[in-house]
C-alpha cells in the first residue's frame, strides 16, 4: 500500500471542521501510515487530546517548548514527518505561516519544515474571498505549498458559498499522490542489479554453489522500480512471481559477467548494484556426461578463479556511472567491509553478517551497514528485506543529494 510506513504530521487549527479530522486520521491509520497531530490552542475547543491520541496512538503536541530526545519539538517532528498536512487550515494560521510568524508550535513547525506542506482550508465564505487571505494563499503557493481548496455548500455559520472543508477523500488522495511523487526519486535512472548465487557446473546436472536466495537483489530491484528507475535484474535465482522490470536469467559467474558488461557498461546504465554472491572459483572442466559414482570412490575437481565482476566493473566504469557493492561476511564484518571497499574501488558498499540465523542468506530479514568511499558508516537496523531495500536506496540517494 502506498502509505504503508509513511509518517504523516497533521496540524489542526481552530474551526468547526476540526472534528472531521478524526475520521481522516482513521483513514490514514487503516492504510498503515504513522500519524502524529499538532494542534493550536483554539483547536482544542473543537476536539479533545484524548480523542486524537486514541485514534493516532500517539501523543498530541501543542506545547511550544516541550522536548523529545533532547531536540526542540518543532525540530524533532520536522525530522520525523514525510509530509505536513494542515487541516482544517484557518485564515489566521494561513496568514501567520505566509508571513513567517511563529507564535505557536504549529506555525513554528511550518516555518522549520523543509519538505512538502499541504493546506486544506476551511472558513467562512467572506473570509475565503478576502483579498488579504487570497494574497496569503498565493504567497504560500509561490513557496511550493499545495492546497486542497474548500468546497462550496452550506456552512456551519448559516451561509452558503465556498469555504467548507474539502471532502476527506480528496485530502487523502492529495497526501497519497504527493508521497507517491516524492517516492520517484530515481526517475530517469537506469539501474542494473545482480542477485542470487552463481552455479558452477562440473557435470551437466551438478554444480558448486552457495546458499544465496536472491531475495535481497529482487527486493532492491522492485523498490528501485517503484522509485521510478528503469531496472534490469540479472539473476541466477528463480523468481516466484512476475516482476515489473526487465529480468535476465544466468547461471554461472561467466554468464553474469557478460550480462553485466552488456547491460551496465555497453548500454551506459547509471548505477550497478552487485548483490549477487558470485562464486570465487569454478571447475576447470565440466564433464559432458553425468559423472557416475560407481566409477570411482573419490572425485577430485580442480578449481580455477572466476573473474571478479565487481573489481572489473569498478576499473572500467565511466565517470557518470556509480557502483554499489555488497559484502557478505561471517566474521569481522566492518573490518572486512572497509578492506573490501578500498580494494574494489566501488562508490558504496553494503555489508551484512551471514553468520546470523535471523538475517542474511535465505532469510526474509536483514540488517546491514552502508559504507561510502570515506568509510562513513550508516547502520540500517534489522527489518524485512523489502524495507531494508527501500532504506538502502533512500540512504544513498539522500547522501548524494547533499
pLDDT class for 237, splitting at 50, 70, 90? Answer: confident
Domains of the chain (ranges, CATH numbers): 7-182 (3.40.50.1950), 190-401 (3.40.50.10300)
Nearest to 282 by CA among 260, 254, 261, 257: 254
- CA dihedral angle for residue 225, residue 231, residue 236, residue 239, rounded to 10 degrees: 30
Q: Is the pLDDT of residue 190 over 50?
A: yes
pLDDT class for 70, splitting at 50, 70, 90? Answer: very low
C-alpha–C-alpha distance, residues 264 and 267, integer Å: 6
Cα distances (Å, whole numbers) of residue 113 to 127, 231, 372: 26, 33, 28
Q: Is the pLDDT of residue 180 over 90?
A: no
Q: What is the mean pLDDT of residues 327-353?
A: 93
Report whether 175 contacts 216 (CB < 8 A): no
Burial degree of 329 (CB within 10 A; 0-12, 13-18, 19+): middle
Q: pLDDT tens across 375-398, in order?
A: 999 999 988 898 899 889 988 887
SS (H, E, C) 257-322: HHHHHHHHHHCCCCEEEECCECCCEEECCCCCCCCCHHHCCCCCCCEEECCCHHHHHHHHCCCCCE
* Active-site residue, selected from the candidate residues 78, 102, 111, 157: 157
pLDDT class for 295, splitting at 50, 70, 90? Answer: low
> Distance from CA of residue 230 to its chain's centroid?
16
Position 134 scores a pLDDT of: 97
C-alpha–C-alpha distance, residues 381 and 352, integer Å: 11
- Told to judge if 111 belongs to the known catalytic residues of this protein, a careful annotator would answer no
pLDDT class for 65, splitting at 50, 70, 90? Answer: low
Q: pLDDT tens across 72-91, in order?
A: 555 789 889 999 999 999 99
Amino acid at each position: 500500500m502506498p502509505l504503508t510506513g509513511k509518517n504523516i504530521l497533521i496540524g489542526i487549527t481552530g474551526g468547526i471542521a476540526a472534528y472531521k479530522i478524526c475520521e481522516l486520521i482513521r483513514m490514514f491509520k487503516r492504510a498503515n501510515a504513522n500519524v502524529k497531530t499538532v494542534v493550536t490552542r483554539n483547536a482544542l475547543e473543537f476536539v479533545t487530546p484524548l480523542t486524537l491520541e486514541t485514534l493516532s496512538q500517539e501523543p498530541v503536541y501543542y506545547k511550544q517548548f516541550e522536548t523529545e530526545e533532547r531536540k526542540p519539538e518543532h525540530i524533532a517532528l520536522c525530522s520525523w514527518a514525510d509530509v505536513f498536512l494542515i487541516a482544517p487550515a484557518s485564515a489566521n494560521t494561513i496568514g501567520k505561516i505566509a508571513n513567517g510568524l511563529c507564535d505557536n508550535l504549529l506555525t513554528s513547525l511550518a516555518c522549520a519544515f523543509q519538505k512538502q506542506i499541504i493546506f486544506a482550508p476551511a472558513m467562512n465564505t467572506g473570509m475565503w474571498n478576502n483579498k488579504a487571505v487570497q494574497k496569503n494563499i498565493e504567497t504560500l503557493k509561490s513557496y511550493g505549498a499545495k492546497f486542497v481548496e474548500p468546497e462550496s455548500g452550506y456552512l456551519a455559520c448559516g451561509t452558503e458559498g465556498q469555504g467548507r472543508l474539502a471532502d476527506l477523500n480528496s485530502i487523502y488522495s492529495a497526501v497519497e499522490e504527493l508521497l507517491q511523487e516524492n517516492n520517484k526519486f530515481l526517475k530517469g535512472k537506469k539501474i542494473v542489479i545482480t542477485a542470487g548465487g552463481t552455479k558452477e557446473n562440473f557435470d551437466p546436472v551438478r554444480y558448486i554453489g552457495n546458499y544465496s536466495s536472491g531475495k535481497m537483489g529482487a527486493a532492491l530491484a522492485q523498490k528501485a522500480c517503484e522509485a521510478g528507475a528503469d531496472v534490469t535484474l540479472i539473476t541466477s535465482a528463480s523468481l516466484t512471481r512476475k516482476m515489473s522490470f526487465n529480468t535476465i536469467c544466468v547461471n554461472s559467474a561467466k554468464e553474469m559477467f557478460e550480462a553485466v558488461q552488456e547491460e551496465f557498461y555497453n548500454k551506459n546504465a547509471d548505477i550497478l548494484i552487485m548483490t549477487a554472491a558470485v562464486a570465487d572459483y569454478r571447475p576447470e572442466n565440466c564433464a559432458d556426461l553425468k559423472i557416475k559414482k560407481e566409477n570411482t570412490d573419490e572425485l577430485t575437481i580442480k578449481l580455477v578463479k572466476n573473474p571478479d565482476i565487481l573489481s572489473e566493473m569498478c576499473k572500467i566504469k565511466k565517470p557518470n556511472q556509480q557502483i554499489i557493492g555488497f559484502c557478505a561476511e561471517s566474521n569481522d564484518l566492518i573490518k572486512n567491509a572497509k578492506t573490501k571497499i578500498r580494494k574494489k574501488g566501488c562508490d558504496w558498499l553494503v555489508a551484512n553478517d551471514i553468520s546470523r540465523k535471523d538475517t542474511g542468506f535465505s532469510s526474509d530479514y536483514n540488517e546491514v551497514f552502508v559504507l561510502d568511499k570515506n568509510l562513513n558508516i550508516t547502520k540500517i537496523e534489522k527489518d524485512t528485506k523489502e524495507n531494508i531495500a527501500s532504506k538502502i536506496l533512500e540512504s544513498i540517494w539522500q547522501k548524494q543529494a547533499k
